[in-house]
Structure 1
Amino acid sequence: MRGNESPKHVYARPVMEFLAVATEYCATLEHSRERSRGELLDALLRLLPVLYWNAQVLDPMETDGQFLPDDRVTEQDYEYVRAGLRGLLDDWDEYEDLVMDDAGEREECRWVSLSESLSDVYQPLRNFVWVYQQRLEECMADAMWAVRDSFELYWGQCVVDCLRRLHRLKYMAHRESDEDDI
């Protein structure tokens, strides 16, 4: 896809399914203050695997980058989402995890923030959703390329890491507290 021709594949079924899940994910995070911690946990455990799957099946795209959209998520938007999640997750937010070092050569233990990781996923998705909400057809193919590229490079791994932590919180935390009561 080159130039500013109107690509029909920006409205293809896999793209629309990804857009729907990305929109729901963004809305869930933007309104996290209106949920209980358990409701948020359940929503994220339902959304994140579908989000990952739908991003993975998007067709890779070529683009000349002529219409790459500007980032729409401001630092204030990001911080609003992150702070809402942080407040709700409270003592569940920070945890120790194995992550690749900055050189990508070996794993090391680091403290990770779940609210920050979820917000890092939010940012490229919200930028993508914004382009579709504005119906900027000339930018849609480039927005698809950008969200797919950032999925491969960064936020796809964030989804996997968040899922592992959320799974542990949902299904293992209560078992550990039950064992403490024995």
Structure 2
Amino acid sequence: MINENELKEGLIEHLKGMIELSGSDAELIISKLEIKYLKKKEYLLQPGEISKHMRFISQGAMRVYYLDEKSQEHTLQLGIENWWINDLYSYLSLKPSKMYIQALEETIVIQISSGSLDKLFREVKEMPNFFRLKMQSAYVALQERTIENLSMDSYEKYSKFISQYRNIEQRFPQYIIASYLGMAPEFLSYLRKKHASRLK
């Protein structure tokens, strides 16, 4: 049986990895947390909805993707345990999302509503600092990925992906990894076979 208190404590430990929290700070944060259970392939957010929560993956695996005018999927973000996942554009602008956020396994997400987070920003001194650091790292990662997409060939992108994320590669279908890397699934399969000895 799932112990929700342990799940919430897990998020507190995650926060403490970057900021200092007192016991009373932790209790206040825990009081604002919501737990959401998702089945495999269930959606946490769909186009037209406004993202009103910051979301932390406690258990499971998820992705963020959108569909282009030809209904082709483009995966923008992958996430597993202890990663944050969201449509930040929708969350920050309060505009309807164009994204899908989907669970790829049975997943548990811990959410903090925007209203609750605003209160925590005022009442827990270090909370704004945590999200400032997370936003900075997200921006740096986005810029790095943009440069890689412009400067690296397909093999280099895949090789870097598996060297950085070997622990998650096996948890996502190949077509989703291909979409994340901006290539066709068939081409990714070709790369894996061609460079099998180098990719071990």
TM-score norm. by structure 1 comes to 0.29
TM-score norm. by structure 2 comes to 0.27
Higher relative contact order (CA 8 A, sep 6+): 1
Higher share of residues assigned strand: 2
